[in-house]
Structure formats: structure tokens, C-alpha cells
Amino acid sequence: MSDMPFMVSADQVCLPKLGRMTSPRAFLRAALALCMACVATSSQAQDYPSRPIRLVLPFPTGGTFFVGQLLSERLPEALGQPVVIENKPGAGGSLAMEAVDKAAPDGYTLFVTSPTLTITPIVQRNLRFNPMTDLVPVALVATVPNVMVINPKVPARTFREFVELARAQPGKLTYGTGGAGASNHFASEQFKVLAGLDILHIPYQSATHAVTNLVGGQIDMVIGGLPTSAPLVQDGRLRALAVLTRQRHPLLPDVPTVLEVGMPELVVDTWYGVLAPAGTRPEIVERLHREITKIVRSPETLARMNKAGIDPLFSTQAEFAAFVKNDHDKWVRVSRAARLKFD
């Protein structure tokens, strides 16, 4: 269909390229078919949505589940159709992304994403699709601040003391993540590069497993979501060294930021947003963006996020697209600096 361009114009429709010998009857049939196709497409966009919407989640827990649950509860009221969650875990989130990539670009299949979107192309080089081009950003929703925590038995009470301890014992200390290529794996490797440290990586099935083993003393350090770690810090089961934010967080007001400890490059949060298959009509993407943004800005949602330790995130679609590209470029630089190797 690449040889059948059309222009949206008030007074002109650009017809298919036809040979010189095309009869007037054939020409009229082609013109009528194209006009009918344009009318049908426009009608589909105006009727959207007319059936349930599928919301694909790459992970059944954590921030993606929170966002998915929120939208599945609130979007039906805004769109007039049910929103059904489909959990599709596996392969570091790429199974869910591929399912959305293969779906029809009609606005009825959406993807709740995190930095998994921007890291997966670095980790999995043999993907059958490109998450950076085959999915279109719809709306940013939320961000979760991260915090660096250690087991209280580690003989370091501050960020600087931990760095000095790790330098004095190269290869002896350990850190846990939600698996090779997880966002907290890349954040931890960035910390190692910035501080010039040699700390052993211990991957787990999830960040929750890593935190559990940190509390149990099997590993020494974790960079992870602040809402999960804050209660463990407050009751003394973990020690917080720094929040990876620009400002101190109300859940841990006594914990310094990475700016305060002299490592501003380590500002890293975990963001969440919604994407659709590339080719989804702009009118549909705009409608979804508008409704999702309204939901996130509502007092009910803001109160719910505040209680969970999650911050709302707003942007235009263009800003979201630029945000995704910048995030991907950052992790490419970290991967190269840390010389990360993936199978």
C-alpha cells in the first residue's frame, strides 16, 4: 500500500497512482473505494471505544500492577467500556511487549510499562521487534523514588562509609536486584561506575526477593523502590544510606539525597506509563492521553498515590516520547561504562 498515499485536506483527496491507460470507470471505482476507506477509518476513531480494552502488564506485582489496577478501575468510567487486565510475565517483560506489538493498532490493546521498555533492547539484542519504535507513548502516569539500603550488620552507617568499605574490600560485598537487566541492576551498576567499586551482583526473580534476602543478611545492599523499603528502614530491619532523588522524601526525611552525598548523577527513579502499538490513530492516542491524565490529576488518585509512596507524573505525548529516548540513551551509556554483557 506504499504506492497509495493520501492527504488529509478540506478540498482535496490524493488518489492512488494509476496507469495512463486506466479507464474512467476504474478511476472512479478507485476514488470511491479510497473515500469510503477514509470515511470508515474516521468513523472508527469517532466510535472509539465500542468494546472492552485490554491492558497488558509485564509483571503481576509492583508498580506496573498498581498502575494497571488504577486504570482498570477508573478508565471504564471515562471511556464507557470495561478495561481488562492481562498479566503476561516472562522474559524480562518482553513477552508482554511483543504481545502488544503484534496487536492491532486500534486502541484496544495497551501496555503498562516501566524502564523495562528502555532497558530491554539493550539486554535482549535478538528481539523480533523494537520496543523503541514499535510502541507509541500514550501517557506518563507515575514515578517511584528509589533508595539505597543495606543490612544493619554491614559496618557502615553512612553512604560515604559504605563506599570506603567497598573500596577496601573489592569483590567482597554483594548487591541484589530483580535480575540481570532489571532497572535496579542498571542503577546499581551506575553506582559502581560512579564510585569506582567492585561489588558482586546477586540476581533474584524479583526486587521483592532481593529485599527479603537483604533483610535476612544473605546480601549486603539493594537499590530499590522507596515505598517497599521505607517500612523496613523505619522498624530497623534495614539501614538507608541515600535516596536517589533531588529532594528528601517525606517517608524518610532524615535520609540524605544522592545530591547531598556528592553523586548527583545517581538520581534514578522508576517511572510508569502507558503505550499503544505503533500506527494507532492519533485521535485515539490523544483521547487516551487526555483521559489518563485526568485520572492521574484527580484528587482521589493523588491521595491514593501519596498513601502508597508513589508520585504522579504528567507530560505531553511529545515530552513522553523524548523522555523514553533519553532514558534509553542513559542506560546505553551505563551499559557501556559498566561493560555489561548479556546472553
Are 109 and 86 in contact, with CB atoms under 8 Å apart? no
Structure confidence at residue 267 (pLDDT): 96
pLDDT at position 208 is 87
The confidence score (pLDDT) of residue 4 equals 36
The Cβ-side half-sphere exposure at 210, using a 13 Å CA radius, reads 29
The pLDDT value recorded for residue 228 is 92
Q: Which three cell numbers stand for residue 266?
A: 545517581
Nearest Cα to Cα of residue 223 among 256, 266, 265? 266
The pLDDT of residue 193 is: 96
Task: Catalogue all structural domains in the chain, each as residue range(s) with its CATH number.
Answer: 53-144+270-338 (3.40.190.150), 145-266 (3.40.190.10)
DSSP-assigned states of every residue in 255-297: SPBTTTTT-GGG--EEEEEEEEETT--HHHHHHHHHHHHHHHH
**Residue whose cell numbers read 526486587:** 207
Per-residue pLDDT of the chain (343 residues; tens, 9 = 90+): 433 333 333 333 334 434 444 555 555 655 565 555 454 444 555 799 999 999 999 988 788 999 999 999 999 999 999 999 999 988 888 999 999 999 999 999 999 999 999 999 999 988 999 999 999 999 999 999 999 999 999 999 999 999 999 999 999 999 999 888 999 999 999 999 999 999 999 999 888 899 999 999 999 999 999 999 999 999 999 999 999 999 999 999 999 999 999 999 999 999 999 999 999 999 999 999 999 999 999 999 999 999 988 999 999 999 999 999 999 999 999 999 999 988 6
Residue 270 dihedral angles phi and psi, to the nearest 5°: -110, 115
Q: Which three cell numbers stand for residue 203?
A: 540476581
State pTM to two decimals: 0.82
Q: In this structure, what DSSP letter does residue 93 have? A: G
Contacts of 192 (CB under 8 A, 6+ apart): 198, 199, 338
Rounded Cα–Cα distance for residues 209 and 186 (Å): 17
- DSSP letters along 299-327, please? HHHHHHHHHHT-EE----HHHHHHHHHHH
Which pLDDT score is estimated for 91?
A: 82
pLDDT score of 25:
56
